[in-house]
Structure 1
Amino acid sequence: MNGHLRSMLSVPGSSERFIGKARDVPTDAIAFDLEDSVATADKEAARRLVASVLPDFPADGRELWVRPNALDSGLIEADLDAVVGPGLHGVHLPKADDPQTLSQVDHYLTYLERVRGLAPGSVRLMAWIESARALSQVEQICLASPRLDGVSLGSEDYTASLGVRRTKDAAELSYARARLANAAAAAGCAALDGPEADFRDLPLFERQALTARAVGFDGKFCIHPDQVALANRAFAPDEREIARARRVADAFEAAGERAGAIAVDGAMVDRPVYLRALQVLGGR
């Protein structure tokens, strides 16, 4: 999965209006939310609504995820029972504070796949890293289940667990972003940056996305459709990057297997630079 989810749009599972609007948003993934955006009194109705729309919701190349309630909420079993089936790509698990949480949910999914005739492992997982405790074990969490496609940084909950305030420059997230991105890369899964609550401040969202990309993130969680295009652009190479990568790849390959380092555009190019160019070009 690593690298293909530039944007994931969160849609409140209790809102038919927002679900309807999401049908045409050009995001890479949609996450129907049963957790934070749904009031306690509306949980059961949201579960029924999401379960009813999932089988026929137009994917159009997008992945369809559900964020259930947390493992310790007493609600996740009913959430998974309602939504696991045709049309569901995966479960975006909140409050994944330790590897055991991933293992337990993996067991639930294995059972549901078996009784519903789904291919083993077909329902994927992403884990929300939302606390200092989770971040301290993120390397183990990234290896806790073969279903795991990626990890996401829950910025608000994480900073709350630290007892610090969220700021516009997000300096308080620097360590968490770097460690999470490194753990994801080491495990071969994706890293998704957390949401920006001020959905009207699009320049701020774009700056955050570019900062996250610079430290190794693959995409960003969006809470408003207007953020999606910015995420898609921020986490994709621009024309200059692609042209430079093509020159590097072509020159290195033309030099042959014995090339150690060559010069391209006045800069040294060795094998790590060449491999990075291939990543930009989509693994050519």
Structure 2
Amino acid sequence: MTQTPAAPAGVWFVTPGHTPARFPAAHGCGADVALVDLEDSVPAGEKQAARQAAAAFFTTPSVTGSVLGVRISSPTTRDGILDLAAIADYPGRPDVVLIPKVESARDFEIVAGALDTPGYLPHLYALIETPGALQELPSIVRAGRIAGVVFGTADYATATGCSQAWETLLHARSALVTSAAAAGILAIDSPYFDLDDPDGPRSEAGRARALGFAGKCCVHPRQLPVVTNVFTPTEEEVAAARATVAAAEEAGGRIVRVAGQMVGPPMVKPARTLLARVDGRARREVNT
């Protein structure tokens, strides 16, 4: 498996590595990224079984075109080292590797050193979930192999003693989006964990997208349609983006008027980004 053309954004879905019976559901869930988890959702006594079972997650392609990935344990722990050794021997390889508890760019050196080969460069994402990680964001987002950052609200709230309410975590989310944007990488928001709140995922996903997140994680299949709807550009948004890019190219970089709006370089870049994600997902679906 080779590196995908662009780092994936959109909706992410996570399934535990020690329950292979759930793998087909993850392959068919329709998320932009489907991850098999070797970390927090796997009990300590099931870690080795999960490493072995997770190999099968990558031998069958997603039926809905999802990019397949894995969340490892921290590479500075024994479990993380064993995860990397196992993944390096998988017959199929993950396109995305999510690295938890990142507090230093060194973590990327460890993971890349264990997994990179001349024909294989997975997209490496940092899970930002500690106060220390937030303080080190300027250096983390400039790690040599980083493709994006993912916010982990549960561990962050536990470490700081705060609640997981949107207002409480707004500073951390804003810092994450700002640092990612400054480095030109993607930011993916944390899952919404209250499974009994049907309106929560839609509301929080809308706020996350408005803040600048490129996607959001989900921990239950019933959250997927709602979050996908929020992060899927409407036909009007796609048409406006295509018109903006076309007008800018025709104008040769000069400021131009599009549908009554003055459009310059700051507006053209997000339009190109939106189209790259839309067209990239369309290509994945065609190739499925």
TM-score if structure 1 supplies the norm length? 0.85
Shift of 1:150: 1.1
Q: Aligned to 1:97, which of 95, 103, 107?
A: 103
Q: Verify: 1:282 aligned to 2:276, yes or no.
A: yes
Q: Distance in 2 between matches of 1:73 and 1:187?
A: 27
SS at match of 2:26: helix
Task: Name the SS for the 1:71 alignment partner.
Answer: coil
Corresponding residue to 1:193 among 165, 189, 194: 189
Contact 1:130 1:153 in 2 (8 A): yes
CA deviations on 1:221-252 (whole Å, 9 max, x unpaired) are 11111222223222222123223334444555
- Counterpart of 1:234 (choices 224, 230, 235) is 230
SS of the residue corresponding to residue 217 of structure 2 reads strand
Q: Deviations over 1:65-105 (max 9, x none)?
A: 11111234311111111123323213211101122222222
Distance between the aligned counterparts of 2:256 and 2:34, measured in 1? 43
Match in the other structure for 1:13: 17
Match of 1:268 in 2: 262
Question: Which residue is equivalent to 1:150?
Answer: 148
Deviations 1:100-123 (A, max 9, x none): 22222222224xx4xxxx62x523
Structure 2 residue runs without a partner (length 5+): 280-288
Which of 100, 103, 112 is equivalent to 1:106? 112
> Could you tell which deviates more after superposition, 97-106 or 185-194?
97-106
1: CA distance between counterparts of 2:213 and 2:129? 16
Kept in 1, the 8 Å contact 2:248–2:255? The answer is: no
Per-residue deviation, 1:259: 4.2
Cα pair distance change 1:280/1:104, threshold 3 Å: closer
- Hey, what's the Cα distance between the residues in 2 that align with 1:202 and 1:68? 30
Q: Is residue 76 from structure 1 mapped to residue 80 from structure 2 by the alignment?
A: yes
Residues 177-207 of structure 1, C-alpha deviations (whole Å, 9 max, x = no match): 1111122222222111011111343421111
Which structure has the larger Rg? 1
- Return the offset for 1:176: 1.4
Query: Which of residues 48, 57, 60 is equivalent to 1:57?
Result: 60
Shift in alpha-carbon separation, 1:22–1:282, aligned structure 2, 3 A: closer
- Cα deviation for residue 144 of structure 1 reads 1.6
Residues 22-62 of structure 1, C-alpha deviation per residue, up to 9 Å, x if partnerless?
231111111111111111111111111112x1342223432
**Could you tell me which amino acid in structure 2 is paired with residue 197 of structure 1?**
F
Q: Tell me the amino acid that sits aligned with residue 192 of structure 2.
A: E
**Unaligned stretches of 5+ residues in structure 1:** none
Distance 1:265 1:55, change over 3 A: closer
* Contact 2:253-2:265 within 8 A present in 1 as well: no
- AA at the equivalent of 1:96: V
Q: How many residues align?
A: 271
> What is the aligned partner in structure 1 of residue 159 from structure 2?
161
- Indicate yes or no: 2:52 matched with 1:48: yes
Aligned to 2:282: none
SS at structure 2 position matched to 1:165: coil
CA distance change for structure 1 residues 259 and 200 in 2, over 3 Å: closer, same or farther? same
Deviation (angstroms), 1:277 = 3.2
Once residues 271 and 242 of structure 1 are traced to their aligned partners in structure 2, the CA distance between those partners, rounded to angstroms, is: 18
CA spacing shift, 1:252–1:54, aligned 2, 3 Å: closer
What's the TM-score once normalised by structure 2's chain length?
0.84
Contact 1:2 1:188 in 2 (8 A): no
Q: Is contact 2:20-2:54 (8 Å) kept?
A: no
Q: 1:277 to 1:45 in 2, by over 3 A?
A: closer
Indicate conservation of the 8 Å contact 2:96/2:124, yes or no: yes
% same residue: 31
Q: Secondary structure at the match of 2:276?
A: coil
RMSD between aligned residues: 2.4
Cα distance, 1:215–1:2 mapped onto 2, change above 3 Å: farther
SS of residue in 1 equivalent to 2:216: strand
Are 1:3 and 1:218, in contact at CA under 8 Å, matched by a contact in 2?
no
> Within the alignment, does 1:24 sit opposite 2:23 as a pair?
no
How far off its partner does 1:2 sit?
6.6
Change in Cα spacing, 1:34 to 1:3, as seen in structure 2 (3 Å) is: closer
